[in-house]
Amino acid sequence: MFTDIELYKLSCDISRRDFINKSAKTIGGIAVGSFVVTFINACSGDDSSPTSPNGNGNGGGAVQLTVDISSAQNSSLQTVGGLLTLGANDIDPQGIFIYRQSESSVIAFSRECTHERCQVGSFASNNIATCPCHGSQYNQLGNVVTGPAASSLRRYTAVLEGNIITITR
């Protein structure tokens, strides 16, 4: 038979096992429950507002930002060659550059430097934007002019219709 000490140790081992088993089930239940609640809330949101930024309703998590170039603050984009620097937004937390490439097209790209992820500064009079962290420079097309960055800035889909530019991520 077992001694009192052996029975005590045996009961502690069973209690620990029960405790771990019940704890694991409880934590698993909380995790699954949290996921379900988050999933349901995400699916039930109505972000169909026609103002910027918004979801495009395709269920893919796309985000849109609209820019009205007839607005005084965006008037630089009314002419070909115009540049606009936007701050942080729902598409890009570092901000976005927009370049009016032609009468019918614009280019939008991130202000996040491809070297060390710093925020690239606004364009200077020579149409060059410089990253303050390590000096990488980019032209109005988002291409690297001077390193250490080795790749162009990330581009976003941008469509110009009338006076409205729609940028999508």
Q: How far is CA 61 from CA 11, 14, 19, in A?
A: 53, 48, 41
Examine the pLDDT at 2 and tell me if it is beyond 90: no
Convert the pLDDT of each residue in 9-20 to its tens digit.
555 555 667 767
Q: What per-residue confidence (pLDDT) applies to 66?
A: 86
Three-point CA angle 139, 70, 79, nearest 5°: 40
* Helix, strand or coil, per DSSP, at residue 9: helix
Say if pTM beats, i.e. exceeds, 0.75: no
Type of residue at 154: R
Question: Is there a single domain that holds both residue 41 and residue 61?
Answer: no
CATH number of the domain at 112, please. 2.102.10.10
Where does the pLDDT of residue 1 fall: very low under 50, low under 70, confident under 90, or very high at 90 and above?
A: low
Q: Scan for tokens 């019918």, then name that residue.
A: 104
**Judgement on whether residues 159 and 100 belong to the same structural domain of the protein:** yes
Per-residue pLDDT of 145-157, as tens digits, reads 988 988 899 999 9
Question: Which among 87, 80, 82, 45 is positioned nearest to 65, based on CA atoms?
Answer: 87
**What does the pLDDT read at residue 14?**
58
Write the burial class of residue 153 (CB in 10 Å: 0-12 exposed, 13-18 middle, 19+ buried).
buried
Identify whether residues 89 and 120 lie together within a single domain. yes
The DSSP code sequence of 62-98 is -EEEEEETTSGGGGGGGSTT-EEEE-S-SS-TT-EEE
If asked whether residues 41 and 58 sit together in one domain, one would say no
| 26-84 tens-digit pLDDT | 665 565 544 444 444 444 333 333 334 444 444 456 888 889 888 889 888 988 988 88
Rounded mean pLDDT of 86-99? Answer: 89
Do residues 39 and 69 share a domain? no
Is residue 121 within 8 A of residue 130, CB to CB? The reply is yes
Q: Examine the domain organization and report whether 80 and 161 are in the same domain.
A: yes
Structural domain count, the chain? 2
